[in-house]
Amino acid sequence: MLVIGLTGGIGSGKSTVSQLFADRGVPIIDADAVARDVVAPGTQALQQIIDKFGPELVNADGQLNRSRLREIIFADPHHRHWLEALLHPLIRTDMSAQIDALAYPYCIVVIPLLIESQPNDRIQRILVVDCPEQLQLERTAARDNTSLSNAKMILTQQASRQQRLAAADDVIKNDQDLSHLEQQVEKLHQHYLQLADEQ
């Protein structure tokens, strides 16, 4: 199976693009969804996070307060590295099992921090969703109901636009309307089906 790693900066439109592939029947594995599963109530990983950062990181319903945790790890690289060392192996194992269970010519694995994390040997091609940084900031601020300065802080913690584009095998430009996006997705969908057939 051909495995495509889909990535892009915050607010670039990864969710929209992955949904367009899903609409075409392509299996989507979302690292963020897997990351939520590995820290679900009762998991060992959640307990380790509580032991490290305190019980105030858990909401009344027992779920991890992800926005609070995000604030902590973006403010301190040491905390971020600790969390990545804990969660990344768990996330990779889970995602790998999901890939192995699929029966389709190719799949899309959505990994927001694909460029920033250690190389993933399951990923065969990197697809970057790209848009101007100002557009990323505006979308993030509107979506997360946060300030532009807070959105900018998150953006600076991620790989730069140039780094992502340098690592890309394929690029989708998300700076116009939905129909423009759909045309690009359809073209790549056909391309990936052909590549998978040639494997």
* pLDDT tens sequence across 100-155: 999 999 999 999 889 887 778 899 999 999 998 888 778 877 787 777 777 777 77
DSSP element (H, E) containing 58: none
Q: Which residues pair with 171 in a beta bridge?
A: 128
* CA–CA dist 97, 191 (Å, integer): 25
* CA–CA dist 63, 44 (Å, integer): 13
Q: Where are the alpha helices (DSSP H) in 5-126?
A: 14-22, 31-38, 44-53, 66-75, 77-100
Per residue in 55-106, pLDDT (tens digit) is 999 999 999 998 899 889 888 989 989 998 999 899 999 999 999 999 999 9
The second-level CATH assignment, the architecture, of 1-27+105-199 is 3-Layer(aba) Sandwich (3.40)
Q: Give the CA distances from residue 156 to residues 41, 74, 106, 119, in Å, rounded to whole numbers and listed in that order.
A: 31, 10, 32, 21
Domain chopping of the chain, boundaries:
1-27+105-199, 32-101
* CA–CA dist 170, 192 (Å, integer): 11
